[in-house]
Amino acid sequence: MASAIRADLACSRFWPAFGHTTSEGERRVLQPWFGEAKLGIFVHWGIYSVDGVPESWSFFDGTVPYDRYMAQLDGFTAARYEPTAWADLFVRAGARYAVLTAKHHDGVALWDTAANDLSVVGRTPAGRDLVAPYVDALRARGVKVGLYYSHVDWSHPDYATVRPPGQDPAERGNPYSMPAAEDESSERWANFLGFHRAQVRELLERFRPDLLWFDGEWERGPEQWRTAELARDIAELSPHTVVNGRLTGHGDYATPEQGIPVQPPAKEWELCLTVNDSWGYQPQDTRHKSPRRLVRIFAETIGGGGNLLLDVGPKEDGTLRPEQTERLEALGEWIGRHTEAVYGTVRGLPHGHFYGPSTLAAGRRTLYLFLFDRPNEYVVLRGVRNAVRSVRVLGTDVEVRHERVGGLGDVPGWEYVHLTDDHLDPLCTVLALELDGALDLYGAHTRD
Ligand code: GLC
Protein backbone atom coordinates (compact mmCIF):
# COMPACT_ATOMS: atom_id res chain seq x y z
CA MET A 1 0.00 0.00 0.00
CA ALA A 2 2.66 2.49 1.05
CA SER A 3 4.70 2.00 -2.11
CA ALA A 4 1.59 2.40 -4.24
CA ILE A 5 0.95 5.71 -2.55
CA ARG A 6 4.52 6.84 -3.10
CA ALA A 7 4.31 5.96 -6.77
CA ASP A 8 1.15 8.01 -7.00
CA LEU A 9 2.78 10.92 -5.22
CA ALA A 10 5.85 10.74 -7.42
CA CYS A 11 3.50 11.59 -10.27
CA SER A 12 2.26 14.62 -8.39
CA ARG A 13 2.35 17.12 -11.14
CA PHE A 14 2.93 20.26 -9.19
CA TRP A 15 5.37 19.35 -6.47
CA PRO A 16 7.45 16.61 -8.08
CA ALA A 17 10.47 17.21 -5.86
CA PHE A 18 8.70 16.66 -2.58
CA GLY A 19 9.79 13.77 -0.41
CA HIS A 20 6.48 12.31 0.66
CA THR A 21 6.82 9.85 3.48
CA THR A 22 3.58 9.53 5.41
CA SER A 23 0.86 7.18 4.33
CA GLU A 24 -2.45 8.29 2.94
CA GLY A 25 -5.39 8.32 5.27
CA GLU A 26 -3.29 9.27 8.28
CA ARG A 27 -5.34 11.69 10.33
CA ARG A 28 -3.81 15.03 10.99
CA VAL A 29 -3.85 16.03 14.62
CA LEU A 30 -4.44 19.69 15.31
CA GLN A 31 -1.44 21.28 16.96
CA PRO A 32 -2.30 21.84 20.64
CA TRP A 33 -1.06 25.45 20.54
CA PHE A 34 -4.00 26.41 18.35
CA GLY A 35 -6.78 25.55 20.82
CA GLU A 36 -4.79 27.08 23.66
CA ALA A 37 -4.11 30.35 21.85
CA LYS A 38 -7.61 31.91 22.24
CA LEU A 39 -6.64 35.17 20.52
CA GLY A 40 -4.94 35.83 17.20
CA ILE A 41 -4.53 39.08 15.27
CA PHE A 42 -5.45 39.15 11.61
CA VAL A 43 -3.60 41.73 9.51
CA HIS A 44 -4.99 42.78 6.13
CA TRP A 45 -2.18 44.77 4.59
CA GLY A 46 -1.75 45.39 0.90
CA ILE A 47 -1.76 48.04 -1.81
CA TYR A 48 -5.45 48.70 -1.13
CA SER A 49 -4.36 50.68 1.93
CA VAL A 50 -2.88 53.39 -0.34
CA ASP A 51 -6.27 54.75 -1.46
CA GLY A 52 -8.09 53.10 1.42
CA VAL A 53 -10.39 51.04 -0.82
CA PRO A 54 -11.83 47.56 -0.12
CA GLU A 55 -9.16 44.88 -0.53
CA SER A 56 -9.35 43.32 -4.01
CA TRP A 57 -13.16 43.49 -4.12
CA SER A 58 -13.15 47.14 -5.20
CA PHE A 59 -11.96 46.31 -8.73
CA PHE A 60 -13.78 42.97 -8.85
CA ASP A 61 -17.11 44.66 -8.21
CA GLY A 62 -16.30 47.60 -10.50
CA THR A 63 -16.14 50.31 -7.83
CA VAL A 64 -12.58 51.12 -8.87
CA PRO A 65 -11.20 50.47 -12.39
CA TYR A 66 -8.50 47.78 -12.39
CA ASP A 67 -5.78 50.15 -13.62
CA ARG A 68 -6.52 52.66 -10.92
CA TYR A 69 -6.52 49.92 -8.31
CA MET A 70 -3.15 48.68 -9.54
CA ALA A 71 -1.76 52.23 -9.64
CA GLN A 72 -1.74 51.93 -5.84
CA LEU A 73 1.43 49.87 -6.34
CA ASP A 74 3.25 53.18 -6.85
CA GLY A 75 2.15 54.51 -3.50
CA PHE A 76 2.83 51.51 -1.28
CA THR A 77 5.95 52.45 0.72
CA ALA A 78 5.99 50.45 3.97
CA ALA A 79 8.11 53.42 5.05
CA ARG A 80 7.33 53.10 8.75
CA TYR A 81 6.91 49.35 8.90
CA GLU A 82 8.18 48.03 12.21
CA PRO A 83 7.11 44.44 12.61
CA THR A 84 8.70 44.34 16.06
CA ALA A 85 6.27 47.06 17.15
CA TRP A 86 3.41 44.96 15.71
CA ALA A 87 4.63 41.90 17.57
CA ASP A 88 4.91 43.86 20.83
CA LEU A 89 1.39 45.18 20.37
CA PHE A 90 0.03 41.71 19.65
CA VAL A 91 1.66 40.43 22.83
CA ARG A 92 0.14 43.33 24.80
CA ALA A 93 -3.24 42.41 23.29
CA GLY A 94 -2.86 38.91 24.69
CA ALA A 95 -2.61 37.30 21.26
CA ARG A 96 -0.67 34.10 20.78
CA TYR A 97 -0.66 34.14 16.97
CA ALA A 98 -1.05 36.50 14.07
CA VAL A 99 -2.06 36.01 10.45
CA LEU A 100 -0.75 38.35 7.74
CA THR A 101 -2.22 38.57 4.22
CA ALA A 102 0.76 37.31 2.25
CA LYS A 103 -1.40 37.49 -0.89
CA HIS A 104 -5.01 38.63 -1.23
CA HIS A 105 -7.30 38.04 -4.22
CA ASP A 106 -5.63 40.93 -6.09
CA GLY A 107 -2.57 38.72 -6.52
CA VAL A 108 -0.02 41.13 -5.04
CA ALA A 109 2.46 39.14 -2.96
CA LEU A 110 4.02 40.71 0.12
CA TRP A 111 7.01 38.42 -0.18
CA ASP A 112 9.74 38.02 -2.78
CA THR A 113 7.98 35.41 -4.85
CA ALA A 114 9.79 33.86 -7.80
CA ALA A 115 6.54 32.51 -9.25
CA ASN A 116 5.66 35.77 -11.04
CA ASP A 117 6.61 39.43 -10.86
CA LEU A 118 3.57 40.77 -9.02
CA SER A 119 5.00 41.49 -5.59
CA VAL A 120 5.69 44.51 -3.44
CA VAL A 121 9.40 43.76 -3.85
CA GLY A 122 9.71 44.59 -7.53
CA ARG A 123 6.61 46.66 -8.11
CA THR A 124 6.29 49.12 -5.21
CA PRO A 125 8.49 51.72 -3.51
CA ALA A 126 8.57 49.36 -0.50
CA GLY A 127 11.05 47.38 -2.59
CA ARG A 128 11.58 44.52 -0.16
CA ASP A 129 10.14 41.33 1.24
CA LEU A 130 7.70 42.28 4.02
CA VAL A 131 6.82 38.78 5.17
CA ALA A 132 10.32 37.74 6.28
CA PRO A 133 10.73 40.49 8.92
CA TYR A 134 7.18 39.85 10.17
CA VAL A 135 7.98 36.18 10.64
CA ASP A 136 11.23 36.98 12.47
CA ALA A 137 9.62 39.58 14.72
CA LEU A 138 6.79 37.26 15.74
CA ARG A 139 9.12 34.35 16.41
CA ALA A 140 11.38 36.58 18.55
CA ARG A 141 8.34 37.38 20.73
CA GLY A 142 7.05 33.82 20.90
CA VAL A 143 3.98 34.61 18.77
CA LYS A 144 2.96 31.85 16.34
CA VAL A 145 3.28 32.76 12.68
CA GLY A 146 0.22 32.63 10.45
CA LEU A 147 0.13 33.46 6.74
CA TYR A 148 -3.04 34.18 4.79
CA TYR A 149 -2.97 33.04 1.18
CA SER A 150 -5.91 33.43 -1.18
CA HIS A 151 -6.30 30.60 -3.68
CA VAL A 152 -7.96 33.17 -5.88
CA ASP A 153 -5.80 35.40 -8.08
CA TRP A 154 -7.83 37.90 -10.08
CA SER A 155 -4.69 39.32 -11.71
CA HIS A 156 -3.20 36.09 -13.01
CA PRO A 157 -3.70 35.68 -16.79
CA ASP A 158 -4.49 31.97 -16.40
CA TYR A 159 -6.87 32.29 -13.48
CA ALA A 160 -10.15 33.09 -15.25
CA THR A 161 -9.92 30.02 -17.49
CA VAL A 162 -12.33 27.52 -15.95
CA ARG A 163 -15.85 27.83 -14.62
CA PRO A 164 -17.06 26.32 -11.37
CA PRO A 165 -18.97 23.05 -11.70
CA GLY A 166 -22.66 23.50 -12.41
CA GLN A 167 -22.26 27.02 -13.73
CA ASP A 168 -25.01 27.93 -16.21
CA PRO A 169 -23.33 28.24 -19.66
CA ALA A 170 -25.54 31.22 -20.43
CA GLU A 171 -24.21 33.10 -17.43
CA ARG A 172 -21.17 35.20 -18.24
CA GLY A 173 -19.93 35.60 -14.65
CA ASN A 174 -17.35 38.06 -13.44
CA PRO A 175 -14.50 38.28 -15.99
CA TYR A 176 -11.85 38.41 -13.26
CA SER A 177 -12.86 34.97 -12.08
CA MET A 178 -14.59 33.25 -14.99
CA PRO A 179 -14.21 32.87 -18.75
CA ALA A 180 -17.15 32.71 -21.17
CA ALA A 181 -18.23 29.05 -21.53
CA GLU A 182 -16.60 28.76 -24.97
CA ASP A 183 -13.25 30.13 -23.71
CA GLU A 184 -12.57 27.51 -21.04
CA SER A 185 -9.06 26.06 -21.10
CA SER A 186 -7.94 23.22 -18.87
CA GLU A 187 -4.32 23.70 -20.00
CA ARG A 188 -4.25 27.28 -18.83
CA TRP A 189 -5.93 26.27 -15.58
CA ALA A 190 -3.19 23.68 -15.09
CA ASN A 191 -0.65 26.48 -15.58
CA PHE A 192 -2.42 28.48 -12.93
CA LEU A 193 -2.38 25.56 -10.50
CA GLY A 194 1.35 25.18 -11.11
CA PHE A 195 1.80 28.83 -10.16
CA HIS A 196 -0.46 28.47 -7.11
CA ARG A 197 1.49 25.45 -5.88
CA ALA A 198 4.81 27.21 -6.45
CA GLN A 199 3.68 30.09 -4.22
CA VAL A 200 2.33 27.82 -1.49
CA ARG A 201 5.56 25.93 -1.54
CA GLU A 202 7.58 29.14 -1.23
CA LEU A 203 5.57 30.18 1.81
CA LEU A 204 6.03 26.80 3.47
CA GLU A 205 9.72 26.39 2.69
CA ARG A 206 10.82 29.94 3.39
CA PHE A 207 8.73 30.81 6.37
CA ARG A 208 7.74 27.49 7.94
CA PRO A 209 4.44 29.02 9.11
CA ASP A 210 2.65 27.60 12.13
CA LEU A 211 -0.63 28.33 10.34
CA LEU A 212 -1.59 28.61 6.70
CA TRP A 213 -4.84 30.53 6.37
CA PHE A 214 -6.41 29.91 2.98
CA ASP A 215 -9.25 31.91 1.48
CA GLY A 216 -11.22 32.10 -1.78
CA GLU A 217 -12.02 28.40 -2.06
CA TRP A 218 -15.60 29.24 -3.07
CA GLU A 219 -14.64 30.19 -6.64
CA ARG A 220 -13.87 26.66 -7.82
CA GLY A 221 -14.82 23.12 -6.91
CA PRO A 222 -12.45 20.96 -4.83
CA GLU A 223 -11.62 18.86 -7.89
CA GLN A 224 -10.57 21.97 -9.78
CA TRP A 225 -8.39 23.17 -6.93
CA ARG A 226 -7.19 19.58 -6.50
CA THR A 227 -7.72 20.19 -2.81
CA ALA A 228 -7.02 16.64 -1.60
CA GLU A 229 -3.66 16.60 -3.35
CA LEU A 230 -2.79 20.04 -2.01
CA ALA A 231 -3.70 19.04 1.56
CA ARG A 232 -1.59 15.92 1.30
CA ASP A 233 1.36 17.83 -0.10
CA ILE A 234 1.20 20.44 2.67
CA ALA A 235 1.05 17.72 5.30
CA GLU A 236 4.09 16.08 3.75
CA LEU A 237 6.17 19.19 3.38
CA SER A 238 5.22 20.91 6.61
CA PRO A 239 3.41 18.53 8.96
CA HIS A 240 3.43 21.00 11.85
CA THR A 241 1.52 23.65 9.90
CA VAL A 242 -2.11 24.11 10.94
CA VAL A 243 -4.43 24.71 7.97
CA ASN A 244 -7.76 26.52 8.22
CA GLY A 245 -10.99 25.12 6.84
CA ARG A 246 -10.93 26.99 3.54
CA LEU A 247 -9.28 23.97 2.01
CA THR A 248 -12.65 22.33 1.67
CA GLY A 249 -12.93 19.08 3.56
CA HIS A 250 -9.24 19.04 4.48
CA GLY A 251 -8.75 21.91 6.90
CA ASP A 252 -8.07 21.54 10.60
CA TYR A 253 -10.74 23.91 11.85
CA ALA A 254 -13.86 25.89 10.91
CA THR A 255 -13.75 29.61 10.13
CA PRO A 256 -17.02 31.44 10.83
CA GLU A 257 -16.71 35.08 9.84
CA GLN A 258 -18.11 38.31 11.35
CA GLY A 259 -20.62 36.54 13.59
CA ILE A 260 -20.65 33.84 16.26
CA PRO A 261 -22.68 30.73 15.49
CA VAL A 262 -25.28 30.39 18.23
CA GLN A 263 -24.52 26.67 18.31
CA PRO A 264 -20.73 26.61 18.27
CA PRO A 265 -19.17 24.10 15.87
CA ALA A 266 -18.37 20.79 17.54
CA LYS A 267 -14.89 20.75 16.04
CA GLU A 268 -12.23 23.41 16.55
CA TRP A 269 -13.10 26.83 15.22
CA GLU A 270 -12.01 30.40 14.95
CA LEU A 271 -14.12 33.52 14.49
CA CYS A 272 -12.52 36.10 12.21
CA LEU A 273 -13.79 39.58 12.96
CA THR A 274 -12.93 43.12 11.93
CA VAL A 275 -12.29 45.74 14.65
CA ASN A 276 -14.32 48.23 12.60
CA ASP A 277 -16.31 47.16 9.52
CA SER A 278 -13.39 46.74 7.10
CA TRP A 279 -10.65 44.16 6.72
CA GLY A 280 -8.09 46.60 5.34
CA TYR A 281 -7.38 50.26 6.06
CA GLN A 282 -10.34 52.44 5.09
CA PRO A 283 -10.04 55.86 6.72
CA GLN A 284 -13.74 56.73 6.43
CA ASP A 285 -14.67 53.64 8.43
CA THR A 286 -14.67 54.84 12.01
CA ARG A 287 -17.12 52.25 13.31
CA HIS A 288 -14.63 50.65 15.64
CA LYS A 289 -16.16 48.23 18.08
CA SER A 290 -15.83 49.44 21.65
CA PRO A 291 -13.56 47.54 24.05
CA ARG A 292 -16.66 46.34 25.90
CA ARG A 293 -18.13 44.87 22.73
CA LEU A 294 -14.84 43.27 21.80
CA VAL A 295 -14.44 41.70 25.23
CA ARG A 296 -17.97 40.38 25.02
CA ILE A 297 -17.41 38.83 21.61
CA PHE A 298 -14.13 37.38 22.82
CA ALA A 299 -15.80 35.84 25.90
CA GLU A 300 -18.63 34.41 23.80
CA THR A 301 -16.07 32.95 21.40
CA ILE A 302 -13.86 31.22 23.95
CA GLY A 303 -16.93 30.14 25.92
CA GLY A 304 -17.99 28.23 22.81
CA GLY A 305 -14.54 26.71 22.44
CA GLY A 306 -13.32 28.99 19.65
CA ASN A 307 -10.47 31.40 19.05
CA LEU A 308 -10.97 35.01 18.08
CA LEU A 309 -8.95 36.22 15.10
CA LEU A 310 -9.32 39.98 15.40
CA ASP A 311 -8.51 41.92 12.28
CA VAL A 312 -6.67 45.21 11.89
CA GLY A 313 -5.80 47.09 8.70
CA PRO A 314 -2.49 48.95 8.72
CA LYS A 315 -1.91 52.03 6.56
CA GLU A 316 0.32 51.76 3.52
CA ASP A 317 3.31 52.92 5.58
CA GLY A 318 2.88 50.00 7.97
CA THR A 319 1.49 51.90 10.95
CA LEU A 320 -1.78 51.15 12.66
CA ARG A 321 -4.35 53.82 13.34
CA PRO A 322 -4.59 54.70 17.07
CA GLU A 323 -8.23 53.55 17.32
CA GLN A 324 -7.12 50.02 16.44
CA THR A 325 -4.04 50.01 18.66
CA GLU A 326 -6.17 51.25 21.57
CA ARG A 327 -8.76 48.50 21.03
CA LEU A 328 -6.10 45.81 21.05
CA GLU A 329 -4.53 47.24 24.19
CA ALA A 330 -7.88 47.49 25.98
CA LEU A 331 -8.67 43.88 25.16
CA GLY A 332 -5.21 42.89 26.40
CA GLU A 333 -5.71 44.75 29.66
CA TRP A 334 -8.98 42.97 30.30
CA ILE A 335 -7.41 39.60 29.43
CA GLY A 336 -4.52 40.50 31.76
CA ARG A 337 -6.98 40.86 34.66
CA HIS A 338 -8.65 37.56 33.77
CA THR A 339 -5.95 35.31 32.33
CA GLU A 340 -7.02 32.36 34.45
CA ALA A 341 -10.43 32.29 32.75
CA VAL A 342 -8.90 32.53 29.29
CA TYR A 343 -5.71 30.57 28.74
CA GLY A 344 -5.66 26.91 29.62
CA THR A 345 -9.45 26.70 29.59
CA VAL A 346 -11.89 24.77 27.43
CA ARG A 347 -15.43 25.49 26.24
CA GLY A 348 -17.87 26.00 29.08
CA LEU A 349 -21.43 25.05 29.98
CA PRO A 350 -24.01 24.14 27.36
CA HIS A 351 -26.78 26.72 26.90
CA GLY A 352 -29.27 27.02 29.72
CA HIS A 353 -27.18 26.48 32.84
CA PHE A 354 -26.11 30.10 33.01
CA TYR A 355 -27.24 33.09 30.97
CA GLY A 356 -23.86 34.03 29.61
CA PRO A 357 -20.70 32.37 28.38
CA SER A 358 -18.45 30.32 30.61
CA THR A 359 -15.18 28.42 30.40
CA LEU A 360 -13.75 25.55 32.40
CA ALA A 361 -10.24 25.04 33.73
CA ALA A 362 -8.49 21.99 32.36
CA GLY A 363 -9.50 19.68 35.24
CA ARG A 364 -13.13 20.86 34.92
CA ARG A 365 -13.20 21.70 38.65
CA THR A 366 -13.12 25.48 38.21
CA LEU A 367 -15.91 27.13 36.31
CA TYR A 368 -15.60 30.70 35.03
CA LEU A 369 -18.78 32.67 34.47
CA PHE A 370 -18.68 35.79 32.28
CA LEU A 371 -21.07 38.54 33.31
CA PHE A 372 -21.90 41.34 30.91
CA ASP A 373 -24.78 42.94 32.76
CA ARG A 374 -25.30 44.39 36.19
CA PRO A 375 -26.96 41.63 38.20
CA ASN A 376 -30.17 42.23 40.00
CA GLU A 377 -28.84 41.23 43.45
CA TYR A 378 -27.46 37.87 42.32
CA VAL A 379 -26.64 35.66 39.37
CA VAL A 380 -27.93 32.11 39.14
CA LEU A 381 -26.37 28.88 38.02
CA ARG A 382 -28.58 25.85 37.56
CA GLY A 383 -28.33 22.22 36.64
CA VAL A 384 -24.91 21.71 38.25
CA ARG A 385 -24.79 18.82 40.66
CA ASN A 386 -21.48 19.73 42.24
CA ALA A 387 -21.35 21.64 45.47
CA VAL A 388 -19.74 25.05 44.98
CA ARG A 389 -16.90 25.56 47.44
CA SER A 390 -16.12 29.19 46.80
CA VAL A 391 -16.74 32.03 44.39
CA ARG A 392 -14.02 34.56 43.59
CA VAL A 393 -14.25 37.72 41.51
CA LEU A 394 -11.31 37.43 39.15
CA GLY A 395 -8.89 40.33 39.06
CA THR A 396 -9.69 41.17 42.73
CA ASP A 397 -9.18 39.35 46.00
CA VAL A 398 -12.90 39.39 46.72
CA GLU A 399 -14.79 36.23 47.63
CA VAL A 400 -18.53 36.57 47.38
CA ARG A 401 -21.43 34.93 49.16
CA HIS A 402 -23.25 32.10 47.47
CA GLU A 403 -25.96 29.65 48.47
CA ARG A 404 -27.72 26.60 47.10
CA VAL A 405 -31.50 26.75 47.10
CA GLY A 406 -33.95 24.01 46.14
CA GLY A 407 -33.00 20.68 44.66
CA LEU A 408 -33.90 17.16 45.67
CA GLY A 409 -31.66 14.12 45.53
CA ASP A 410 -30.17 14.09 42.09
CA VAL A 411 -31.81 17.37 41.07
CA PRO A 412 -29.45 20.19 41.92
CA GLY A 413 -31.67 23.29 42.30
CA TRP A 414 -30.23 26.79 42.00
CA GLU A 415 -26.90 28.26 43.03
CA TYR A 416 -27.27 31.96 43.86
CA VAL A 417 -24.15 34.10 43.76
CA HIS A 418 -24.62 37.47 45.41
CA LEU A 419 -22.93 40.47 43.87
CA THR A 420 -22.94 44.21 44.38
CA ASP A 421 -21.98 46.92 41.93
CA ASP A 422 -18.54 47.42 43.43
CA HIS A 423 -17.60 43.87 42.44
CA LEU A 424 -18.13 44.58 38.78
CA ASP A 425 -15.46 44.95 36.12
CA PRO A 426 -16.17 47.88 33.77
CA LEU A 427 -16.00 45.62 30.70
CA CYS A 428 -16.96 42.13 31.82
CA THR A 429 -16.87 40.54 35.28
CA VAL A 430 -15.62 37.00 35.67
CA LEU A 431 -16.58 34.76 38.60
CA ALA A 432 -14.46 31.71 39.39
CA LEU A 433 -16.48 28.92 41.01
CA GLU A 434 -14.50 26.16 42.70
CA LEU A 435 -16.47 22.94 42.44
CA ASP A 436 -16.15 19.92 44.73
CA GLY A 437 -15.11 17.71 41.78
CA ALA A 438 -15.16 17.53 38.02
CA LEU A 439 -18.22 19.29 36.60
CA ASP A 440 -21.34 17.11 36.80
CA LEU A 441 -24.35 18.41 34.89
CA TYR A 442 -28.01 17.74 35.33
CA GLY A 443 -29.89 18.33 32.08
CA ALA A 444 -33.21 16.77 31.21
CA HIS A 445 -35.91 15.30 33.47
CA THR A 446 -36.09 11.58 32.69
CA ARG A 447 -39.10 10.49 34.80
CA ASP A 448 -42.69 10.87 33.63
C1 GLC B 1 -13.91 37.57 3.22
C2 GLC B 1 -13.54 38.80 2.42
C3 GLC B 1 -12.07 38.88 2.22
C4 GLC B 1 -11.35 38.75 3.53
C5 GLC B 1 -11.80 37.49 4.23
C6 GLC B 1 -11.22 37.29 5.58
O7 GLC B 1 -13.71 36.40 2.48
O8 GLC B 1 -14.19 38.76 1.19
O9 GLC B 1 -11.73 40.08 1.58
O10 GLC B 1 -10.00 38.70 3.30
O11 GLC B 1 -13.18 37.52 4.38
O12 GLC B 1 -11.80 36.14 6.15
- Write the pLDDT tens digit of every residue in 117-168: 999 999 999 999 999 999 999 999 999 999 999 999 999 999 999 999 999 9
Secondary-structure breakdown of the chain: helix, strand, coil percentages, each rounded to the nearest 5: 30, 20, 50
CA 61–ligand 1 middle distance (angstroms) = 14
Nearest ligand 1 atom to the CA of 150 is 10
For domain 4-337, which architecture applies?
A: Alpha-Beta Barrel (3.20)
| Among 293-297, 420-424, 444-448, the least confident range | 444-448
The 3-state DSSP class for residue 181 equals: helix
CA 149–ligand 1 middle distance (angstroms) = 11
pLDDT value of position 30: 83
Nearest ligand 1 atom to the CA of 101 is 10
Using pLDDT thresholds of 50, 70 and 90, give the confidence band for residue 448: confident
CA 47–ligand 1 middle distance (angstroms) = 15
Say if ligand 1 is within 6 A of residue 272 CB: yes
Please tell me the pTM assigned to this model.
0.94
438 CB-contact burial (10 Å; exposed 0-12 / middle 13-18 / buried 19+) = exposed
Over residues 89-111, the mean pLDDT reads: 98
Are 219 and 164 in contact by the 8 Å Cβ rule? The answer is: yes
Is 60 exceeded by the pLDDT of residue 20?
Answer: no
Instruction: For the chain, give every domain's residue range.
Output: 4-337, 346-435
Q: What percent of the chain has pLDDT over 70?
A: 94
Over residues 326-331, the mean pLDDT reads: 98
- Cβ-proximal residues to 15 (8 Å cutoff; 6+ apart), any chain: 197, 201, 233, 237
Strand order from edge to edge, sheet including 414-418: 378-382, 414-418, 402-405
CATH (residue range 346-435): 2.60.40.1180
Q: What is the secondary structure of 35-90 as a DSSP string?
A: HHH-EEEEE--STHHHHT--TTHHHHTTSS-HHHHHGGGGG---TT--HHHHHHHH
Say if ligand 1 is within 6 A of residue 215 CB: yes
Say if ligand 1 is within 6 A of residue 279 CB: yes
Partners of 307 in the β-ladder = 270
Over residues 53-80, the mean pLDDT reads: 98
Are 304 and 264 in contact by the 8 Å Cβ rule? The answer is: yes
18 CB-contact burial (10 Å; exposed 0-12 / middle 13-18 / buried 19+) = middle
**DSSP letter at 165?**
T
Question: Best of 257, 307, 310 to mutate for ligand 1, by most ligand atoms within 8 A of CB?
Answer: 257
pLDDT value of position 445: 80
CA 26–ligand 1 middle distance (angstroms) = 31
